[in-house]
Amino acid sequence: MDPDPHVKEEEEELWIKPDKNPDPACSSQQSQMKVHKNGKRSKLCSTSSAKVGVDAGERPFDCSVCGKRFKRKSHVKLHVMTHTANREHNCDICSKGFREKSSLQTHMRRHTGERPFACDHCGKKFHAKKFLTTHMKVHSGEKPFPCDVCGTRFRVKESLKNHMWIHTTEKPFVCNICSKGFSQKESLKSHLRVHTGEKPFVCSLCSKGFSRQQSLKSHMHVHTREKPFVCSVCGKGFSQKESLKTHMRVHTGEKPFICSICSQGFSLKESLKTHMRVHTGEKPFTCDVCSKGFSLKESLKSHMRVHTGEKPFTCGCGKCFVKEIQMERHMRLHSEERPYGCDVCKNRFKHKCHLESHMKLHSGEKPAVFSVSCEALSQDVLQKRINVTEV
């Protein structure tokens, strides 16, 4: 970890010998290269290395001590000196060395958990003053580091450096299990938890674990009931950004998930997955009482009421029903709603089965005796008919 910004260190100079196999671009000047103890190179080397055609963001060589990445192997060697060169103050826990005792004291807070620097706005605490200074930009909205390619601005320079990987096609960090490539080492590290099942980020309220810190942060909105992501069309709020993104498809009509068999589109990936059971005949949800299978969990839940006798849907007249659709049909007895219309004679019916029976009069097909003239039946007869179909 770099020392605190308020701790000023002497820039003692070291003369280093040239590499046995020097970089061609720096070979004529490397013997004169100067390196400060804080790891900064002199302009001499900076100028020469700038001439080498290395793609922006490509850093294939990493430091074995801290993991920092570099464009050239020679640069790594120079950087390693920041870990080894004359650092008399060493950490007893991780052996990291520092030139100044104050820098070691700041570093020790990482191990002890001490965070003496607190934000006046939100109370968040930090172990080093420089991190508090960076954090304050969250409240001020200041984003002084812009991307030269896409214009996105960042509060922290390190975030800009990480962002630049997006603009390069280079993905040097490859998963050794599924071979998926990543532009950042941290992304690969996070991805590996998919395979290991590791969930190091645990909610302090419900103990639910997450593989990514951002996922835990989004989850916390469930407990706070905070809904910071608001739909610009209908004003509905959501606790997670991904939920808002999914909701927007209601307004746009977008259905990006297409069935490969019947081409039907769905707004949710999970909906497509459920739909596929129509084609496969899969019924993974089985009743423990009668062993009847269902393709949807909700269907099994509704079916269980047949065995328990539960009727949670109640009409204003006091009648109860197992399913909501049954209550909706029943409600038409109390209203004049007739949603099913005949295309031939324009008669309208309250129930689909009544329309189907009526259509047989036009086709010449002999209808069922009890539904020859649905509209002529009294309300009491209709009620009995509905009760039979609902059982």
Q: End of a domain among 92, 112, 132?
A: 112
pLDDT of 370 strictly over 70? no
Choice between 374 and 300, residue whose per-residue pLDDT is larger: 300
Q: Name the packing angle between helices 324-331 and 379-390 (round to 10°).
A: 170
Residue 215 domain-assigned? Answer: yes
* Cβ atoms within 10 Å of 119's Cβ, excluding its own: 14
121 pLDDT tier (thresholds 50, 70, 90): confident
Residue 74 domain-assigned? Answer: yes
The three-class DSSP label of residue 56 is coil
Q: End of a domain among 210, 228, 250?
A: 250
Q: Average of pLDDT values for 363-382?
A: 51
16 pLDDT tier (thresholds 50, 70, 90): very low
Q: End of a domain among 81, 96, 112?
A: 112
- Report the run of H or E that residue 213 belongs to, with start and end: helix 213-224
Q: List beta partners, residue 118.
A: 125
Residue 351 domain-assigned? Answer: yes
Provide the pLDDT for residue 55. 45
pLDDT of 232 strictly over 60? yes
- Report the run of H or E that residue 199 belongs to, with start and end: none
Quote the percentage of the chain above a pLDDT of 70: 77
Please give the residue range of the domain that contains residue 71.
13-49+57-112
Residues 246, 317, single domain; the answer is no
Residue 297 domain-assigned? Answer: no
Q: Which residues contact 283 (CB under 8 A, 6 or more apart)?
A: 277, 293, 294, 295
The CA-to-CA distance between both ends of the chain, in Å, stands at 72
Provide the pLDDT for residue 84. 60
Do 275 and 266 meet the contact criterion of CB atoms below 8 Å apart? yes
Residues 318, 246, single domain; the answer is no
Domain total for the chain? Answer: 3
Residue 152 domain-assigned? Answer: no
Residue 322 domain-assigned? Answer: yes
Residue 218 domain-assigned? Answer: yes
Residue 138 domain-assigned? Answer: no
Provide the pLDDT for residue 290. 93
Rounded CA separation 369/351 (Å): 17
The three-class DSSP label of residue 221 is helix
CATH number, domain at 223?
3.30.160.60
- Cα four-point dihedral sign 106, 111, 116, 121: positive
Rounded CA separation 28/70 (Å): 21
* Residue type at 355 in one-letter notation: L
Instruction: Determine the Cα angle at 304 with ends 298 and 309, to 5°.
Output: 130
Rounded CA separation 83/391 (Å): 79
Q: Average of pLDDT values for 306-325?
A: 84
Quote the percentage of the chain above a pLDDT of 90: 3
By DSSP bridging, strand 145-146 and strand 153-154 are antiparallel
Rounded CA separation 335/275 (Å): 34
Do 353 and 340 meet the contact criterion of CB atoms below 8 Å apart? no
368 pLDDT tier (thresholds 50, 70, 90): low
Q: pLDDT (tens digit, 9 = 90+) per residue, 20-63? A: 344 433 333 333 333 443 444 433 333 333 333 344 457 788 88
Q: pLDDT (tens digit, 9 = 90+) per residue, 177-214? A: 898 888 778 888 888 888 888 888 898 888 888 888 88
Do 100 and 88 meet the contact criterion of CB atoms below 8 Å apart? no
Q: Average of pLDDT values for 309-329?
A: 83
